[in-house]
Amino acid sequence: MKSVLGIVGGSGLYDLPGFENSHWETIESPWGTPSDAVRIGEIDGLRVAFLPRHGRGHVHGPSDINYRANIDVLKRAGVTDLVSVSAVGSLKEAYAPGTFVLVDQFIDRTFAREKSFFGKGCVAHVSVAEPVSPKLLELVEAACQDEALSYHKGGTYLAMEGPQFSSVAESHLYRQWGCDVIGMTNMPEAKLAREAEMSYCTVAMVTDYDSWHPGHGSVDIADIIRVLGENVDHARRLVLNLAKRFPREHTPCPIGSNTALEYAIMTAPAKRDPDLVAKLDAVAGRVLNRA
């Protein structure tokens, strides 16, 4: 099975250099309209699919993104491994603006989003105890090292609903919980990627210290945009390096990301809603089609 590297780009990262034979492809999804068309091409011979999470021109807010459609169209594009590149605030003194945090855990505090492909008529329960694929994380870390980027491996991402930034009290609360960074977009994205049997990894690009830092003050949009521009340049280098070193043959995820649905679907075949099963053709076809 050939590897296909998927990149979901967040704020500021609407395009990637280095694509060969690339084109924007509109992929329809039974889950609705995705954020944008998918740019599909090759980097050094590796097939890559890029989706701008907020759409080109930043037209979708974090709660308006159709996360299910986004993951579904990437699955239809053949993506085996998905890297999320996302702007975040830092909840730790050590993670200054400009630092990349290679997240390995999440706390989901979102409440206004569809969080599963499954439901009444086809119930499934997947494990997200370890939401990030360690093999994919190691490849991203190696690319960071090659590009001499400031990064930290490991950390907990607090996903808030938004679109407003945190109050000071909220920011201090999340620090007490031991969170490292805060953002608005990686949940339910990571959960849906697991349901779609993709390996998933987050590159969290720190733009600010959120609102807790006494010397930083409230979040300043002008400062965020300035740092974001610098981070995006670094992120492009990271993605190009990652694509060049990425294994061309897909190998099984050591924590079973690529087989997450093996025993997850609980609804008996005779009781499954045929309309929902039809919508699950890309996400769960590997399992449903053999039942």
Residue 185 annotated as binding site = yes
Q: Is 210 a catalytic residue?
A: yes
208 is catalytic: yes
Residue-by-residue DSSP string for 154-221:
--EEEE---SSPPPHHHHHHHHHTT--EEESSSTTHHHHHHHTT-EEEEEEEEEE-TTT-TTT-S--H
Among the listed residues 104, 108, 180, 208, the single catalytic one is 208
The response to whether 209 counts as a known ligand-binding position is yes
Residue 178 neighbours by CB under 8 Å, 6+ apart:
156
275 is in an annotated binding site: no
Enumerate the β-bridge partners of residue 200. Answer: 82
Q: Tell me: is residue 223 an annotated ligand-binding position.
A: no
Q: Residue 211 annotated as binding?
A: no
187 annotated binding-site participant: no
Nearest to 127 by CA among 257, 276, 251, 287: 257
What are the percentages of helix, strand and coil residues in the chain, rounded to 5?
A: 30, 25, 45
184 annotated among ligand-binding-site residues: yes
Q: 53 among the known binding-site residues?
A: yes
H-run or E-run covering 133 = none
210 is in an annotated binding site: yes
Taking alpha carbons only, the member of 148, 165, 144 closest to residue 91 is 165
208 is in an annotated binding site: yes
Candidate list 64, 210, 275, 281, residue with the active-site label: 210
Q: Which residues are tagged catalytic?
A: 208, 210
As annotated, the binding site includes 11, 53-54, 86-87, 184-185, 208-210
As annotated, the binding site for substrate includes 184, 208-210
As annotated, the binding site for phosphate includes 11, 53-54, 86-87, 185
